[in-house]
Amino acid sequence: MISAQGLTKAYGTRTVVDRLDLTVGSGEIFGLLGPNGAGKTTTILMMLGLTEPTAGTANIAGHDPTRDPLAVKRAVGYLPDSVGFYDDMTGRENLRYTARLNRIPRNEVEGKIDAVLEQVGLAYAGDQLSGTYSRGMLQRLGIADALIKDPVVMILDEPTVAIDPEGVLEIQRLIRGLADQGVAVLLASHLLHQMQSICDRVAIFVDGRVIAQGTARQLAGKLSHGRTTFEVDVEGAAGGARSALDRVAAGGMVEEDRVVPNRWRVSVSVGFAHRIVEELVAAGVRVTQVRRTGEDLDEIYHRYFEEVTA
């Protein structure tokens, strides 16, 4: 539903987006992850036909945004990073205005408004002035505004910035519900933890370039070169853990390790984690928890970023 090949945007000698390639399928939530200024919003504007690429192509729901921007706008629901409504109009009146702009038949408008307000959890506030809405309510109204046209693609730019944790969860549930209905979702953000909790795949975006993309596990695997890191919480003497580590290391399975009080961190070949626990137990060390590490998106992002800027 969304694809880009070599998509590039330059302003003079400064390249803001550099040869971007990506695809997003129906029902998929794809995260464009990067710091402010990385080129995420410029990418979105090119996909919407709001700015022309310097090179490369994009295809959104079967349409070229450069050649047929109106068709793209009909197919896409867009939530910008700074959503705005008329404060002196109610939520319902703002949606009615958007419906008219999208030429939705008059006899369908009220039913659609009722449906989207219910979908985003704002049925109770539809007749309140939007100027009285909280940030989270405005974001949900923004999603309702995008849904009024029954889009097959949703593009969301920083949808959870400055929202309280409960509001973030509500918006994430809403986004997941859209994907479950088959909508392709492109989500741009710099909030790593929130992206990991909702995205099916992510692209790490640095200085206008995608330096890696895939699931968190795939990205971690590329960094670990076929090895897996575990943290093991133990109770017992560090000496016992040390002896167990030496026995596993003698088999050539251990790449690196660090023993600290009550915690053992070790990188081993995939499939050998059970040997760690077996050796610890045999040494009389009580294992209380085993955690696979290295798949936290924050850690992954910073390791990729360090590789690029080194």
* Superfamily designation of domain 2-214: P-loop containing nucleotide triphosphate hydrolases (3.40.50.300)
Contact between 102 and 74 (Cβ < 8 Å): yes
Task: State the distance between the two ends of the chain, measured CA to CA, in whole angstroms.
Answer: 35
Instruction: Report the percent of the chain where pLDDT is more than 90.
Output: 55
Which residue matches tokens 């923004």?
Answer: 142
Q: Taking the model in full, what pTM does it have?
A: 0.79
pLDDT classification of 256: cutoffs 50, 70, 90: low
β pairing state of 209-214 and 201-206: antiparallel
pLDDT at residue 8 is higher than 90: yes
- How much is the average pLDDT of 81-108? 94
pLDDT at 85: 95
pLDDT digits (tens, 9 = 90+) for 173-225: 999 999 999 999 999 988 887 888 899 999 998 889 998 899 877 887 776 66
pLDDT digits (tens, 9 = 90+) for 45-72: 999 999 999 999 999 999 999 999 999 9
Residue 183's nearest CA partner among 304, 75, 47 is 75
CATH topology of domain 221-309: Alpha-Beta Plaits (3.30.70)
β pairing state of 153-157 and 184-189: parallel
* CA 69/CA 266 separation, integer angstroms: 52
pLDDT at 195: 84
pLDDT digits (tens, 9 = 90+) for 130-160: 999 998 899 999 999 999 999 999 999 988 8
| Domain chopping of the chain, boundaries | 2-214, 221-309
The tokens for 190 are: 């710099």
| 2-214 and 221-309 in the same fold | no
